[in-house]
Amino acid sequence: MMMSSSQRHAYGYGDALYWDARYLADGSASFDWYQRYSALRPFVRKYVPVSARVLMVGCGNAVLSEDMVKDGYIDIMNIDISSIVIDMMRTKYVHIPQLRYMQMDVRDMSFFDDESFDCVFDKGTLDSLMCGMDAQLSASQMLEEVNRLLRPGGIYMLITYGDPSVRIPHLNQPGCNWKIILYIIPRPGFQSPGGDSRPRSIMEPVPLTESGQLPAGFVLEDPDSHYIYVCKKMH
């Protein structure tokens, strides 16, 4: 029996029941949170070689992984807390050996060995946990696991609506040692009102202060921008 929307809202974003109900309601439709691959491609190609072993956390029913394979990536493991969407995606992509799918909770990825991935890609999954029950603990558990799974020098690419004041403290939790480069991109379809004679290139990293915050007086071109944290795991 399908859950009503009010029943779905009774569960948190970190709860498999919420996502199972959502994906059953969505059917076979695909949905990419925040940005499509076409917008993210310059960043992905800059930091992630096509030969990299990639882990896509919270893959959902997005076509991001499919688009990456079309662009030459050869090894993408996709995980999601929802067994419903994993079954859907496994069936959809049965003919694409570069894509594999497993049901898994990002807070416990003990199935995978330490340092077994070159890149962990996260588009909205940390954000989802931050909106759920026990947000602080869930975020800490997820980031601890991401750090464990990355080889030294590996990249955690986080696409989020969270600005540095609310994301850097989590990224810099004890046990994690990242070199962080920040990019900011406007939401899809954003039209600049104009007036800036030298618009900033989206491929120009945004400087951060010593404490990991945006510089005083920094103004977002789009107030609803998305933030891309390129986090390199240091030794």
Answer positive or negative: Cα dihedral of 126, 129, 130, 131. Answer: positive
Work out the mean pLDDT of the chain and round it to a whole number: 89
H-type helices in the chain, by residue range?
5-9, 16-26, 37-47, 64-70, 83-92, 125-130, 135-149, 164-171
CA distances from 214 to 111, 131, 166, 184 (A): 37, 23, 11, 11
Q: What pLDDT was estimated at residue 37? A: 96
Question: Which of 46-50, 129-133, 172-176, 195-199 shows the lowest mean pLDDT across its residues?
Answer: 195-199
pLDDT band at 11 (very low <50, low <70, confident <90, very high): low
- State the greatest distance between any 2 C-alpha atoms of the chain, in Å, as a whole number: 57
CATH code of the region 16-23+34-177+225-233: 3.40.50.150
Give the Å distances, CA to CA, from 40 to 107, 202, 228. 25, 10, 9
* Span 47-89, pLDDT tens digits: 999 999 999 999 999 999 999 999 999 999 999 999 999 999 9
Quote the pTM value. 0.89
pLDDT in tens, 89-130: 999 999 999 999 999 999 999 999 999 999 999 999 999 999
How far is the C-alpha of 128 from the C-alpha of 11, rounded, in Å? 12
Mention every residue, 6+ apart, whose C-beta is less than 8 A from residue 66: 93, 96, 99
Report the number of secondary-structure helices (H) and strands (E) in the chain. 8, 7
Residue 133 contacts residue 14 (beta carbons within 8 Å) = yes
The structure tokens listed for 32 are 């990419």
